[in-house]
Structure 1
């Protein structure tokens, strides 16, 4: 069964429009409900009202996510995806975020209880810049050949390590200091992808 969809109509002065997206866990290219069927309330920090509920992940979901990430690493990413292609794909993500800057800013403002302008000029702008920055590095990370003597060849080679587990602190009443979840997402995910790793993100 497909997880529910969250929809919201924005009517502010700076952005008007409707947004809609799944509230499920994104694993192996699809949104799904949590294995235990539990949900977590998403609170609007500026009003205290419940915006929606999202699927809560459990151990079976983590296992499925790690398995999917390992499969991707072994088949289509990692050393199977040339660095120049990784750079292009990460750059494409940045360009898509630029295209949808206003909608992403409105969503981030709603989720974090901040102004649209702040979300646009800080959160979204810096997240885009982070993805562009690491896209630029993807094909420039190289090893070295070290001088020793004529009988030896000494060199270093950089290789991805595989599946990377990453945690973004929540933005609830219990941890109000974490006000930049999308930006923290970019800081964690962009360098991992640029160096050929796959990611399981909480």
Structure 2
């Protein structure tokens, strides 16, 4: 289920949601107690299918699921660049939701953008699934996903890279590397907590202070 799928799975497990079966021919590093199969089971229809594979292989990866879903199955895609129209062609009649979560979902601090064309019932089911992993935001235009992916989907990597660079600069200026990393990590953690706590002040105001 990959980095993003794994982050969601761990949070859902912590919230007692399930049971969950991972379909992956090379599943690894899964949480304890999660069933992993190389292909979809021969019987039964899932309530929810989460598609968390690389976009370039999505068609071949999900083809075994075509025709296997029930009329009430909810299909949630966390794949970048694959539209709800693409998914509806493969899963006609299913409720389809696109989602762009991020890896802080693993600790319940994620930001997930969501989009569906399939009405309030589908929207409510998806909301219930993603609320335990952090905040949610419903998009009115599917085209907004490109920008959302850049900001919140990829954004955590830039924060982690900033921590790396800050710590490296500290070490380059004579600090013990472990000390520099501790300073860098807590500085970013504290600044983020302050931004969350002081929601009335803009980021510019916090910076100026």
Normalized per residue, the structure richer in helix is: 2
Normalized per residue, the structure richer in strand is: 1
> Which protein has greater RCO, CA pairs closer than 8 Å, 6+ apart?
1
Q: What TM-score, normalized by structure 2, do the two folds share?
A: 0.22
Q: What TM-score, normalized by structure 1, do the two folds share?
A: 0.22
